[in-house]
Every structure is written in C-alpha cells, then in structure tokens.
Amino acid sequence: MTEVGKMVIREILRRDPDREVSTVVKITDHFPQRVWTEMDEYVPTERVKGYFRDILDALLETRRGATEQVCIWVSGFFGSGKSHFLKVLGYLLEGRTLQDPDGNEHPSQEFLCRRLGLQDLLPLLQKEFRIKVLFINLLDYDPQSPRRPTLSRLVYRHLLEDRGLSTEFWVAAWEKELQELDRWEEFEDWVKKSFGREWERERTLNAEPVLKRALPELLPERYRTEEDALQAIQESKKRYSTINPSDVARDLVQEAKHLHEHNGRLVVLLDEVGLYIGDSVERLTDLNSLAEQVVQQGEGKVLLIATAQEALTDIVPRLTTDRQILEWLRDRFRLHLGLLPTEVEEVIAQRLLAKTGEGVQGVRTMFRDHEGRLRMGLSLEQRWGDDDFLKLYPCHPYAIHMMQDIMGAMRGSVEEARRLSGSERSLLKLVHTILRGEGGLERGAEKPLGWLISLDLFYDALAPDLRAVRSEQVRALEEVAQLGEVDGLPVVRIAKALFLLQHLRQRYPCSVENLASTLVDHVDVDIDALRQKVRQGLQKLQQEGWVVEEEGQYRLLTPAEHDLERDIRRNYPGPAEVQREAARLVREMLHDFRYEHGQIRRPLKVAMEVDGETVSEAGDLKISLLTPFALEDADELLARSIAEPQTLFWKAGDSPELQAVLERAIAIRKTLQQWQTRPLTREQEEHRGRLEREANEAFQTKLPELLRRAFLRGQLYLNGQELEPQGNDVEGTLRAHLRSVAGQLYTEFVDARPARDAECASILTWQPGAALPSIYTDLQLLTGEERIRRDAQLLSVLKSELQKRHNLGQDRSGRALLEHFERPPYGWDPRLVRLLLATLFKGGWAGVRYQGRDIADPTDPQARAVFTQAREFQRATFEVLPEVDWREASGKVSTIFGVQGGDTFERTAEVVRQQAEGWREKVERLATRCRDNELPSHFAQACGEVSETLGEIGQQADLNARLRRFLQNADVLQEKMPVVRNLESFNFEEYRKIRRFIGATHDWSDALSGDASGRWQRLRQNLDAEDLLGRWQQVVDDYAYLLSLYRNHYSQRHGEFRRGVEDALAELRRHEAFQHQPERAEELLQPLMQLLCEADGKPQEETFVCPRCRRSFVNLAPSSAEAIRRTVEAELDELLPPPPEEEVRSLRLERTLDSPSDVDRLAREVRRYIQRLNRPVVVLLEARPKEENDGP
C-alpha cells in the first residue's frame, strides 16, 4: 500500500466532519446560530444564482405598479434544497441581522448579495423597498386535521399573528376596530384592571365575555348594554367564520402600504405547498383563488412564493381532470423555478466532501491504481468519470442522485411524503451521519482511504426515519440479520441494499450483478467473488421466504408477505399431486385440439387421454399422452403401440424446471385458498395479488410452455415404431403423425365439400342451362345434357344407405345420416352429405319430412332451410321415393285441363309443363282483376293457390319430379280450376259499378223499409258471398230495382232542397240590414246562394249524384241549408246601426203560429229588438189556442 493509502477519510476532507451541520432547514426557525450556519454554508449553483436574480427582477418590476409576475412556483423533489432556497430568499428580501459565532453582526442583504453575486442590485434593494416577509412552513400543520384550514386562512392567520393580533378572526376584527377608534390602550388598561391579567392571555379563552363587558364601557355611544354588545359579537363571529381570498389579499395590500405607501412590499413564503394540498381539490382551488386575488388586487405590493415537490403540470393532473384549473394556475404563477438533482450533489460535495489538496492527490492516485476494479465493480451506471469519483468520494459516483430518487419513490402516499419531508434525514444528513458514525454506525471518517460507502450504509443511516413510515420493514430486516453470513458477507446487507434498490427497479433491475455493485465497499473489491456471495445470499433469503424472483428480478418481501411465503413452503405438493396437476394442464392445453384431414381440412374426431385420464371419448383416431411424471417406460409403450395400432402414444421428456415451477404454483394456489377467509393487511392484500398474478402466469403461460418443451424432448410410439417429435409445436406433431393413421382408416374419404352452406341447396332451384357451383361437376353429379346423373356413384351410395335403413326400420334422420358418413370408412364433411341428399331430393328420388309435413317441392322455403342449415337438416327425415305412374298423370291432365294427356312418360311430362305455364299466366291476370275490382278475397286466394301450384309444377326440370309434383297437387287443381274458368266470363265492370252504388247510397238506405230494405240487405250480402258467381243474376236484378227507386227519391229531395234555399233567400232579403248596407248585405248571402242548383236533380249512374251540384243524398237535408241561413242572419244583424238615444218603445208581437218551425221567425224578431236596445229586457210570453173569431 502507498503512503497515501495509510490516510483515513477525515484527513482528506477540507472541513471537520464532526462539526454540526444544519441539514434540514425550517424557514420558521430564526435561531441566530442556526440561521448563520444556514446562510454561511449555503452553496448556490450558477443556475440557482440565476433564480435569485429572476426573483429580484420581478420585484424591481413592481416599481412600475401592478404586474402579473408576483406569484412564483419553486419545485424540486425531496431533499433538493427548496426550504433552504426559500429561507435564503426571505433573508435576502427582508433586511435582517445575521450574527456569526464570534458575535459579529452582518446585514443579511449585504451578506447574501455578495454570496449570490447580486451586488449590483443591493442599492436598489435597500433604497427602493421596505419589505416584510411572512415565513410559513406548511409542514407545521397537519393537513389531515378535521378543521382542514385553507391556505387563505393560514396566510391570514400568520398576517394577524405578525401584527400581534389574535389568530381568531372575529377577535382580531374587534382588536383592529378598537385600534382604529383610538381606544386600544384604554382597552388594554381596562382588561388588566378588570380581570387582573393582560389581554393577550385573556383573549385565548375569555375573549367573548371580556368584550361583552368592555364594549358598553368603552363605546357606550354604540353599545348601550351588554346585550347590544353580545349581539354585535355574535354577528362578527358569523361574518368572520369564512375568510375569502379576496379579503386576505386586501389585508396583505394594506399591510404593505402600512410599511410604506409606495415602497412597502409584503412577501408571503409558503414552504411545501404540494404536501399541504395533498389530495384536496378544494385547497388547490383556494390556492388558485388566492393567487388570482394577489395578482388582481395586489397592485404589485404583494408577492406570493410557493415551493412544492411537484411542478404545477404534475400536481394538478394528479388531483383533477379539469385542465382549466391547470391553465389558471400557470397563468397566475408566471415564474416557474425548478431545482435539479445535480445541485444537491454540488451541495454535498462542497459542504461535506470537499477535499484538501493532499486529499485530492491521494484520491486521484488511488483511483488510477484501482480504476479497472472500480469500473467493473461500480457498474450500476457507466457514464461517470474520474472527476465524479473524486468529487463524491467516499460515496459511489452516482450514489447521491440514486438515493434522491429512492427517497422520492419511498414517499408513497402524500402523508408518507409529508412525514419524510418533516424528518431530519435529508441526503446531506445521511452522508453526515455515516461520516460521524451516528446511531451506532461505524465512524466513516475514521475509515482508511479506499473504503467506500455501500448502499446498505445509507439504509442504516435512514433507518431511524424509516421506523416512522416503514416500521414493520425495519423490524423485518432486524429479523433477517439473524440469518448470519454467507462466506463472510452478512445476508442482511444484501437485504438492505435490495430494499432500497427495488424502489428503482424499472431503472436498475434488481439482479445479482446490480446488487453486488451497490455492496462494493472498497476499491480492492473482487467483483466476481462478491457476485457469487450475493447469489448465495439471495438463495438463502428465498429459502427463508424473504425474497422472491419475479420476471428475472429479486424483490424483498414485507413481513406480511413473508408470512404468506412461509405458508407456501409448507404447502409444497407430493409426487402424485404434481402428476395430477401436470395431466390437468396437458388436458387444458389440448382441450380444443382438432385434427383436419385432406385439402378441405375436414375435422375428424380424436379420442384422447393423458396419463390414463380421458380428455375426449368420441373419435376413431386415438392419442395417449404421458407427462414426465408418468411411470410407463419405453418398452411398455412399444408393446402397447403394437396391441393398439390405431393409437398414437407420446411420452414427455424429464424437466427439472417444470417440476420446480409446478410445485411452487400448486403451493401458491393452496395457500391462497387457505387465506381466503383470513383478514389481511393492505400489504398482504397486495402480495396476495402478486402471488395470484404469479400463479396465473405460471398456470396460463409458463407451465404450458415448459410442458410443450418437455413433450418435444420426448418420444412417440406408433404401431411398434419409435418416432421423433417433428417441429416446435405439440399440436403440429400430433397432426403430422395422425395423417398416416387417418389415411389407412378412412378409405372412402371424399376430399371435397361445398364452400358455403348455400351451395348445398343450389340444386333445388336450378334449371338446365343455369349455372351451378363447380362442386356439382367435380362430383360428377350431372350428365352432359345437364340432367342429374341417376347412376352417380356418390348418389348411389347414399340411396343404398337410405334404402337399407328403410328396410331395417333404422333411423333415417339427418342426424343419423351425418353420424354414419362421419365414421370410417367415409369421414365425409356434413355439407357434402347435405348436398348429395339435396340432389336426390331435386331428382325426385328422395323425399323430406320436416316439422310434421312432407316436402315435395324443391323450391319450398322450408326445403332450403333443411339443406342450408345444419340444425334443421338434423331434424329432418328422409325416404327413398318410388318411380312416378305417368299413366295416372295423363288421365288427370285430361280431367283438369280438358286436353288430351300424353301417351308416353316424356310426352305426359311435356303436356303437364305446357298446361301449367299457359294456365298460370291466365290465372295471375284473373287474380289481379279480382283484387282490383274488390271481389271477395277467396277468389283472389283461389287464383293465387292455383298460380303457385302451377308454377311449382312448371319449374320442375326433372321429368320424374314434375309428374310427382303434378300428382301431389291434382286434387287441389281439380277443386279450384272450375272457379278459374267461371271467372274468365265474369262481368267485372258491372260488379265494380254495383260496389260503387252500395258505397254512395249508404245513407239513403237507412230510410228504406219493407221489400226495398230486404233487397238492399240481400244485395250487400250477395256481393261478399263465397258463391257470388252462382248468385250473380239475383245481384243484377236487385241492383236494377234499387237503382230505379233511388233515382226517384234523389230527384224529389233535390227539388225540396232547392225550394228551401229560395225561401230562405227571400226571407233574408227582407232583413232591415238591406236598408242600411244593401251591397254588404247582398255579399253576405253568397254562401246560401251557392247552395242553389238549377239542374233537374236526376243522379248520374256513374256517381249516383246530381252532375251539377254533386251533393250526396245526405247533404240535401234541409238542416244543412238552415245552418248556413242562421249564420248569414247573424252576420246581417251585425250590420244594423246602434239604436237611437231616445227611449225605445216596448215590443209587442201578436202572431199566429201554424207549425213549430214558425217559432224561429218569432225568435228572430225578439233577437233584433234586443240588439237595438243593447240592454237587458223583460219578456212576457202568452200562448193560447186559436179561436174562430181571432184574426190572421
């Protein structure tokens, strides 16, 4: 070792490591000795100096008046020096006095301006401003307090406290009131005289009773009695129960002006705003409101400066999705200052680790001599140089910023972050603790040159604070310490380093190599030996249930998780359970296994077993799989393969990894089941979730993959041969070997099938000359003349099977046929079976029974459903049909159509086609005429049935199918064709006219009686009768009679209606209105005049109304004209002038009324009298029978 190597760490450091160092700065701590140390040892980087200048520039800008840059946000993670920065800023702005250890005093502004390089701004700072600073440390307040004060209330309380006022807002309001009224000193004297104590003591508990008595004494002109004072006090309590940000901003401005009307400034420093806001959107909104009021009301006299561990862009999205709040806060806090990790490194390097000249030389020499070992050992990060090593020695060159990130990650919840931030373990303190050997640590300063601070030492220094937030973990590591050493390396050192490093596992994977790097504690390290010790230590920790390996990384468990791991070890399974679980996994892996044969990939059923347990029973192909844990050996499997030539045997190879993973997965599952009913802590719940994910990943991903590898390393046995697995896929290997077995088993296999379900039924609607899917040609089902080949091999096979089943009385359902042709030697595709049966059905050689009915027509929609839908096909039943009797068909043709039938099979089929096509066209026209002329619906239905039946017959391309369809429908045609022939000669025009007559004269018929009424009812009934054609002559006779009668009645009523209108017009023209406004009165008669018709009133036969006025019988009623007459008369009455002013004489009327209708005339005269009088009248009415001597 060199002479330099004999030095100890203390001897290379410029400053005494045992001196007191202020490591945690509280901005509210103004103890002179600590303040001097904090100001004297503050190490600003160039960036930080720039921040101070930016703030002073913002302050100088306020000389011009209001400005928007009065709110400033300072962010930096845990331990970045935010509080120190804020406290230095407060002493820089407010002229305070600093006292050094020798008792000398230094003006804070001058001292700090020199330290920060701001000498040029000192004169302006001293002469242009009178500044007061409110130092508010929000860590002094519990954010979980039930009262949960807002930031506005806290700021206001500090302002009151700084002015010596009560922090109870309503009490402070009375204090300010008394001061403004110049009664304050008198009040204080009165309180001391009356209660024997100072007001500052009385106001804490007795403010209300004191004020209740004092106000009437000191302000009698306002409060005459104590009741008046008490009422005013209660009102003040209500008024000041809430303090708005605008009230706070207003008082802050007043306080600044109190310092100096123009130069006064009030600076509010809020330390750790982010932690105080916590998870409260309400507090965040209050901060925004307070900043807004400071900007709007502050007049540039109030500055609001806040620190937080998060930037605004991080803290707002964490609390709310309302992006508007973020934009508002960014608009309020225009100046954003961020402290960086490198600045913390600089502070530690300058304040604790600065080297003497000899120390610099010694470290450089040591680094040069051991650089190779150091770079191999300190490999957690690669980008560090000799200057980094020199600056931070004896720490690892990246230890400081790594520990910053670890401590930031350890914050967890907002409450945990608050408790850590309030502790005394900043990074500066941690390094200082290690150097001084505090808390039972070895004194790092006394270690020889070459010693390094490993990560576990940082844990030891941090442990006192961890007890406050991670107490169970600390106790757990104390328990781990009992595990002893591995080849001289304490296992607990590995656990401590792992505990810290796993907080940054995304950046630094917790591997053996990285953990060994963190434990390097000397420059002479043998990194390979250290890694081996770490590996052994981790294995021991795993065995004891303290560490698990997840995705290639290690993780230290909490005590709660450790309990679960201990139970997992107890639940490890035995060999039989392992084999059962392996077999279950294989069954799941191959649960959906399918073997597809031929080019059409025809699925064939496979019977499969795993370790003797059945996976699927159905299938003529057989597979027997054996896991690595099965007991059968190669000789036994070879013998079995000879005895069972159609079975493929496959034994998996051995796999220790498979066994280890499977045993742990089974143990985890059993443990989780046991813990289902136990109450678990939050940590246990989280670890249970991780274990569930581990087990799920094992069972769903890892174990299937390990089993796949095991089988691919195994051996296959088939028909006495030992075969090697092919490829990298278990299912692919099985299919490759099953192919040869299937070829020997399915000798009648047809390697073709319809591409779609619809192709199975394409033949049903096919006609010669039309296109068919190519499969019909491929299967040779058609002749060159485009007829179905009767002797096609596949059709013959199917017909033979149907005939055999018919003869033996066996099931002939679609399901049974599919099952038969699925088995060896066929293996036919279900669509192929459906297509072949559809072809037999089309050719008339097979019949279908479906849903209780026999289907004979290939175009029947249900027939298509049977052959295109697998489910319906299975429900249908099929029969082989005999050849049709053409002679019977020929006779039926003569009977039904009245033409000569054929004398041969082919001629008869042709005659049937010609008649079906010819009559179908006629029948369709007749059906249309029936509907258009509104004949009873059964006529159109009968025509429709005949048309549909003829169409089905004519569309049958196959002669056999056509004649069979004709014979099946002969009875229907024989019943319906006579009706069709009668409709050919039916007078549709006359029927339509009689229909119109019934509709047009409905109202007239209501007055009929006797024979006329009977004829009317009979006519209506006959028009809708089913045997209308047989009753037609009676319909014509009744119509002629009723038409003649209607014409007479209509003409007579037409004349009466015209005379009534003429009488009404004559009477209205005698109305008094014609004497006053004759032209207007004549105009009002127009609606009535329009009712006059000069025609003779004979109705037309087409419309059954007068051709000129076109009024129906009901519209010729006298009441329709009378209603219009009354309306016109009322309008004429409106034309009468008002009555003269002279007295109107009484109206005396004496009339002889011959009929009730004459009463209306009398009423009209009385109405006109009342209108002229325009006031209430008395009416005396007397009526008596007319006698012979009475006048007219």
pLDDT tens-digit profile of 369-399? Answer: 999 999 999 999 988 999 999 999 999 999 9
Handedness of CA 986, 990, 994, 995 (dihedral sign): positive
Residues 860 and 889 in one domain: no
The enclosing domain of 154 has a CATH number of 3.40.50.300
Nearest to 311 by CA among 338, 277, 341: 338
**Do 713 and 592 share a structural domain?**
yes
CA torsion, ordered 460, 465, 467, 469, to nearest 10 deg: -130
End-of-domain residue from the set 860, 882, 904: 882
Q: Which two tokens stand for residue 380?
A: 């957690």
Are 1044 and 979 members of one domain? no
Query: 486 — phi, psi (to 5°)?
Result: -125, 105
The residue written with tokens 């250890």 in the block is 101
Q: Round to whole Å and give the CA distance between 1093 and 157.
A: 102
Q: Number of C-alpha atoms within 13 angstroms, CB side, residue 199?
A: 20
Question: Strand order in 715-718's β-sheet?
Answer: 613-616, 606-610, 621-626, 647-651, 715-718, 721-723
Residue 1147 lies in a domain: no
Token digits of residue 796: 């013959």
Stated as kind and residue range, the H or E segment containing 622 is strand 621-626
pLDDT of residue 496: 94
Strand positions, DSSP E, 260-415: 264-271, 302-308, 335-338
Last residue of a domain, one of 745, 762, 790: 745
Beta-carbon neighbour count of residue 563 at 10 Å? 18
On whether both 269 and 410 belong to a single domain, the answer is no
Write down the pTM of the prediction. Answer: 0.50
Query: Does any domain span residue 640?
Result: yes
Query: Does residue 466 sit in helix, strand or coil?
Result: helix
Q: CA 403 to CA 414: how far, in whole Å?
A: 19
Does residue 733 sit within a domain? yes
Check residue 1113 and give its pLDDT: 86
Residues in the chain: 1192
Determine the structural domain holding residue 514 and report its residue range. 9-13+355-557
Q: Is residue 175 part of a domain?
A: no
CA 413 to chain centre: 28
Q: Is residue 939 part of a domain?
A: yes
**Which of 808, 798, 848, 805 is closest to 828 using CA atoms?**
798
Question: For position 583, what pLDDT does the model report?
Answer: 94
DSSP state of 987: -
State which amino acid sits at residue 540. K
Structure tokens that stand for 419 in this block: 């408790």
**Could you tell me if 981 and 1021 lie in one domain?**
no
Q: Are residues 809 and 955 in the same domain?
A: no
* Residue that is last in its domain, among 729, 745, 761: 745
Q: Which residue has the tokens 């595709």?
A: 829
- The reply to whether 409 and 533 lie within a common domain is yes
Alpha-carbon distance of 28 to 260, in angstroms, equals 25
**Phi, psi values for residue 116, rounded to 5°:** -100, 5
| Whether residue 936 is found in the same domain as residue 995 | no
Instruction: Give the pLDDT score at 419.
Output: 47
**Identity (one letter) of the amino acid at 234?**
Q
Q: Quick one: 413 and 459 in the same domain? A: yes
In a domain, 223, yes or no: no
pLDDT given at position 1: 38
Nearest to 500 by CA among 409, 381, 418: 409
Question: Hey, what long-range contacts does 1155-1159 have (CB within 8 A, 24 or more apart)?
Answer: none
Alpha-carbon span 901 to 930, nearest angstrom:
31
**Beta strands 264-271 and 877-880, pairing class:** unpaired
pLDDT attached to residue 143: 54
Question: Which residues of the chain have a pLDDT value below 50?
Answer: 1-4, 146, 413-425
Give the separation between CA 22 and CA 547, rounded to whole angstroms. 38
- The answer to whether 593 and 731 have CB atoms below 8 angstroms apart is yes
Q: Shortest CA distance to 405 belongs to which of 389, 381, 385, 432?
A: 381
The residues with which 448 forms a beta bridge, in sequence order, are 8
| 8 A C-beta contact, residue 249 and residue 297 | yes
- 374 and 498, same domain (yes or no): yes
Is there a single domain that holds both residue 546 and residue 580?
A: no
Task: Classify residue 586: in a domain, yes or no.
Answer: yes
Q: How many domains does the chain have?
A: 6
Q: What's the pLDDT at 417?
A: 44
Retrieve residue 893's tokens: 């043709």
Query: Which amino acid, one-letter code, is at 285?
Result: T
- The answer to whether the beta carbons of residues 716 and 648 sit under 8 Å apart is yes
**pLDDT of res. 579:** 94
Distance CA 98, CA 115 (A): 14
3-state secondary structure 178-204: HHHCCCHHHHHHHHHHHHCCCHHHHHH
Distance of CA 721 to the CA centre of its chain: 57
Largest CA distance in the chain: 171
Query: Same domain for 541 and 605?
Result: no
Dihedral sign of CA atoms 313, 319, 324, 329 in order: negative
- H-helix segments, 1008-1077: 1010-1023, 1028-1069, 1073-1076
**What is the structure's pLDDT at 415?**
45
Name residue, tokens 């709660």. Answer: 560
Integer CA distances (angstroms), 744 to 350, 637, 1115, in order: 88, 22, 95
Is residue 1172 in some structural domain? Answer: no
Omega within 30 of 0 (cis) for the link into 394: yes
Q: What are phi and psi of 647, to 5 degrees?
A: -110, 135
Neighbours of 833 (CB within 10 A): 23
Closest C-alpha among 346, 348, 508 to residue 427: 348
DSSP-derived pairing of the beta strands 485-486 and 489-490? antiparallel
Count the alpha carbons within 13 Å of 280 in the hemisphere toward its beta carbon: 22
Rounded Cα distance between 430 and 420, Å, is 13
Nearest to 401 by CA among 348, 463, 360: 348
DSSP 1096-1152: --PPPTTTSS-TTT---TGGGSHHHHHHHHHHHHHHHHHTSPPPPSSPPPPP-----
